[in-house]
Amino acid sequence: MDENTMRALKLFGVKMELRYSKMAGVEYMANVCPHCNIIQGELFLGDEFLGVVDQRGDFKLLLFDNGEIVDTLSSVEEFETKYWRFFLDEYLRSLERCYICGCYISYAPKKTEEYRKYEGAGEILDKYGEIRQLVMHHISYRDNITIDICPVCHAKIHHSKDSKYAKFRPVDDRRAARNGMKGMSKSTFFQSVN
């Protein structure tokens, strides 16, 4: 698969890797879940996307709406420049809020820098304030109870004496959890926080 096709797939959040499938009995370029890293198969991509790529070597990205071609683009750069707002909106919809302070958090806060180069993007992003790195904080290691928070609140939980943050400290530690000691149940934790 050529570099332009791989970049176009990546723009849509599609992860493609050369993988061996026991079911197919061969190694092939497979659609892989970006979250669990499991092969999802190639049927959808083969029928819906890869079939519209010109196999002669000329890269063309065809955009469809209800079966009709609505746009033809000749490079990933042209696509990004023309449709940046779509990707920015998708990114903004994916944002989470810190469980404690409510600020916007993301697994990829630096992604905002990619969009700032487009006219009007900075004004949109400024409405969200600083988008911080998402941290999954353990309330209980044994029961694997986590909350999504920002790094500022995470530091305060572990280093502040303020009671607002103390109630979010882990009820057990990693070593105890590994040794099978009982932690606080999820329902008990959330009743104590509220």
Q: pLDDT of 128-151, one tens digit each?
A: 999 999 999 999 888 889 999 999
Domain range enclosing 135: 95-194
Q: Find out whether 152 and 132 touch, Cβ atoms under 8 Å.
A: yes
Residues 111 and 192 in one domain: yes
The sign one gets for the Cα dihedral 24, 25, 29, 31 is positive
Distance CA 28, CA 1 (A): 11
Residues 116 and 58 in one domain: no
* Residue 84, domain member (yes or no): no
Q: Does pTM top 0.85 for this prediction?
A: no
What are 105-115's pLDDT values in tens digits? 999 999 888 88
Residues 24 and 101 in one domain: no
Residue 121 confidence (pLDDT): 92
Task: For the chain, give the mean pLDDT.
Answer: 79
Instruction: Strands of 57-151 (E only): list them.
Output: 61-65, 68-73, 96-97, 104-106, 132-133, 135-140, 145-149
* Model confidence at 40: pLDDT above 80: no
